[in-house]
Amino acid sequence: MSVPGIQESRTAWRLGIITPGRKRAFFIAMGLLGLALPLAVYPVFLMNVLCMALFASAFNLLLGYTGLLSFGHAAFLGSAGYVTGHVLKAWGWPPEAGLLAGTLVATLLGLVIGGLAIRRSGIYFAMITLGFAQMLYFLAVQLPFTGGEDGLQGIPRGTLFGLVPLDRPLTLYYVVYAIFLLGFFVIYRTIHSPFGHVLRSIRENEPRALSLGYDVDRYKLVAFVISAGLSGLAGSTKALVLQFATLTDSHWHKSGEVVLMTLLGGMGTVMGPSVGALVVVTMDNYLSGVGDWVTVIIGSVFVVGVLAFRRGFVGEALHLARNFPF
Amino acid sequence: MGAVGELVLETRGLTKDFRGFVAVGGVDLKVRRGTIHALIGPNGAGKTTVFNLLTKFIQPSSGAILYRGRDITRSRPADVARQGMVRSFQVSAVFPNLTVLENVRVALQRPLGTSFHFWKSDRSLQGLHGRALELLEQVDLATHRDTVAVELPYGRKRALELATTLALDPELLLLDEPTQGMGHEDVGRVVELIRKVAAQRTVLMVEHNLSVVADLCQTITVLQRGTILAEGPYAQVSTDPRVLEAYIGVPE
């Protein structure tokens, strides 16, 4: 499987465009930007971006670094949102327990769905994940606790650890930001771990990894479970932020959207999915005035984006940087 | 390690039936420790199928495979590799977007026991660089350590593949057409390399190039239509009238 994004970041390292010092400087700058942004931009919008960025980054761990295209990742985002919403609203759990419950359920779902799906590869893998996501969507429509078409509304945000009330948007933003950074760090570390190197070898040449003595299915499963769990964390956080959990997050549209974000931003790059998420959520948000045409516009952007920037925004940026040594 | 000359790999009546088409039929193969053993035969004779059966990439319809006296007929491919029987592939099998050093390092890292540790930094793998460079040195690739494998010329890719295989310190090396698609000079290099690495191990290789086989291998098994046609040293096999007929169609 050819992953143009990863080739670019590899080349950027080799040519000294990315160096450890520059990388550190970049992450510090981004970190500070994340701290300052809510003072200038509407926090709920930013939190939405952070949730989707975490979702897309978790998805990229599979697509970009393991070579697995899941077409059912909405299952983890959506079900974690429902679980968190339910335990906060109906059972009155504190927010941290609610987030944990949603994440845990998504992780377990990942274990079950992943355990079955990794037995097949390519399009069959994608279809099995889609099939499971459709079943969960059906459950979300039918089960009483999800509120069916109406969804779960009015989820209380509560008080974090019994100390920090989350009703102020700015407070909530910094909590969400911390969750995002935690999730992002887990993904970053996974990519750059001994485990991550085995994943890459599986993506690059699965039979060869097998012939070197790696039980590739077990590695794929662990990657799938991590990805599902972090997608769940994103879904749980989103439910806490927006105070509702609806069918939208379980719908296969969401599974498609995350593919789109990842490809648009640059699969197999660390920052690509976040950039893609920013672009897609921004379009969703600021184009909502044009009604149904949003879909057409996003579709067009995607087609043009993939045709013109095959490496994704981040991949293209790294490619351009080659020609402008600095 | 057992004594030189004893059986390291043996198959008994190994058969693979693809829905009525018998690709391999009742093959009894005996590979002795410390030898270089060739598996030759015309196209479609079942050589690669035998390889896939031995390394468990496909399951036999019947028959048994014994490795170091132990029945591995139902083992899984990764288990077979971990027991010291490591294969290469017909088309060069490198990890294209990893560097030369990383290619070898992936093979070296498994014994560390941290291959599932997703929370650990990959700096913990740096201790393997010395050994990886030693292996690359053996195949003259040490100076290319930071080259991305996809950019290597074909012959070098095969050399890298061999270094990666050797990283596992296999007892039995299965090479599927190691000189296929190579220029004359590269062939000579690979032959020398195989001779060098075979000093401490057993090699079973599929090969088309008869001059390579004549030069390198102590025992040759000739396959035709999935069964063994002849077996023995090159001098004997190459004069066997049945082999001649299978290869060049000499009339009776």
State mean pLDDT over B183-189: 81
Domain B7-94+171-248's class?
A: alpha beta
State mean pLDDT over B49-62: 91
Contacts of A207 in chain B (CB under 8 A): 57, 89, 93
Torsion of CA A131, A135, A136, A139, to 10 degrees: 170
Comparison of pLDDT for A143 and B1, the residue scoring more: A143
**Contacts for B57-63 with beta carbons within 8 Å, 24 or more apart?**
B57/A207, B57/A210, B58/B16, B60/B14, B60/B15, B60/B16, B60/B24, B61/B15, B61/B16, B61/B17, B62/B13, B62/B15, B63/B11, B63/B12, B63/B13, B63/B14, B63/B15, B63/B26, B63/B27
pLDDT at B252 over 90: no
Residue B88: the pLDDT is 84
Rg from Cα positions in chain A? 19
Task: Single out the residue of A118, A116, A107 nearest to residue A215, CA to CA.
Answer: A118
Residue A232: the pLDDT is 96
Q: Do the chains contact at A197 and B112, CB–CB below 8 Å? A: no
Closest partner CB to A192 (pick from B102, B114, B121): B121
Percent of chain B with pLDDT over 90: 37
Mutation target for A interface from B52, B75, B97, B100: give the one with most A CBs within 10 A. Answer: B97
Q: How many CB atoms lie within 10 A of CB A232?
A: 32
Q: Do the chains contact at B82 and A213, CB–CB below 8 Å? A: yes
Q: Distance between CA atoms of B139 and B194, rounded to whole angstroms?
A: 10
Q: Do the chains contact at B116 and A222, CB–CB below 8 Å? A: yes
Q: Do the chains contact at B118 and A212, CB–CB below 8 Å? A: no
Q: Do the chains contact at A197 and B82, CB–CB below 8 Å? A: no
Q: Which residue of A has its CA nearest to B168?
A: A212
Q: Do the chains contact at B95 and A208, CB–CB below 8 Å? A: yes
A295 domain-assigned:
no
Structural domain tally of chain A? 1
Give the A:B interface size as CB pairs under 8 Å: 109
pLDDT at B141 over 60: yes
Mutation target for A interface from B54, B79, B106: give the one with most A CBs within 10 A. Answer: B106
Q: Do the chains contact at B168 and A194, CB–CB below 8 Å? A: no
Contacts of A189 in chain B (CB under 8 A): 118-119, 121
Residue A203: the pLDDT is 94
State mean pLDDT over B101-122: 91
Q: Which residues pair with B9 in a beta bridge?
A: B31, B67
Q: Which residue of B has its CA nearest to A65?
A: B97
State mean pLDDT over B128-157: 90
Torsion of CA A56, A3, A13, A213, to 10 degrees: 100
pLDDT at B251 over 60: no
Mutation target for B interface from A66, A200, A202, A204: give the one with most B CBs within 10 A. Answer: A204
pLDDT band at residue B241 under the 50/70/90 scheme: confident
Q: Where are the domains of chain B?
A: 7-94+171-248, 96-151
State mean pLDDT over B225-252: 80
**Contacts for B118-124 with beta carbons within 8 Å, 24 or more apart?**
B118/A189, B118/A190, B118/A193, B118/A195, B118/A196, B118/A222, B118/A226, B119/A189, B119/A190, B119/A193, B120/A193, B120/A194, B120/A195, B121/A189, B121/A192, B121/A193, B122/A192, B122/A193, B122/A194, B122/A196, B122/A197, B124/A194
Would you write out chain A's pLDDT as a tens digit for each of its 326 residues?
455 666 777 777 777 777 888 888 888 988 888 888 888 888 999 999 999 999 999 999 999 999 999 999 999 999 999 999 999 998 989 999 999 999 999 999 999 999 999 999 889 999 999 999 999 999 989 888 888 788 888 888 888 887 888 888 889 999 999 999 999 999 999 999 999 999 999 999 999 999 999 999 999 999 999 999 999 999 999 999 999 888 888 889 899 999 999 999 988 889 999 999 999 999 888 887 787 788 888 888 888 888 888 888 888 888 888 777 55
Whose tokens are 């909530």? That residue is: A172
Give the minimum alpha-carbon distance from A265 to chain B in angstroms, rounded to a whole number.
20
AA letter at A242: L
Contacts of B95 in chain A (CB under 8 A): 200-201, 204-205, 208-209
DSSP string for residues in B180-207: TT--HHHHHHHHHHHHHHTTSSEEEEE-
Write the pLDDT tens digit of every residue in B167-177. 998 999 999 88
State mean pLDDT over B242-249: 76
Task: Single out the residue of B11, B28, B17 nearest to residue B65, CA to CA.
Answer: B11
C-beta separation of B35 from B71 below 8 A:
no
Rg from Cα positions in chain B? 19
DSSP string for residues in chain B: ---TTSEEEEEEEEEEEETTEEEEEEE--EEETT-EEEEE-STTSSHHHHHHHHTTSS--SEEEEEETTEE-TT--HHHHHHTTEEE--SS----TTSBHHHHHHHHHHGGGT-TT-TTS-GGGGGGGHHHHHHHHHHTT-GGGTTSBGGGS-HHHHHHHHHHHHHTT--SEEEEESTTTT--HHHHHHHHHHHHHHTTSSEEEEE-S-HHHHHHH-SEEEEEETTEEEEEE-HHHHTT-HHHHHHHH----
Q: Which domain holds residue A58?
A: 43-250
Mutation target for A interface from B105, B118, B147: give the one with most A CBs within 10 A. Answer: B118
Residue A98: the pLDDT is 93
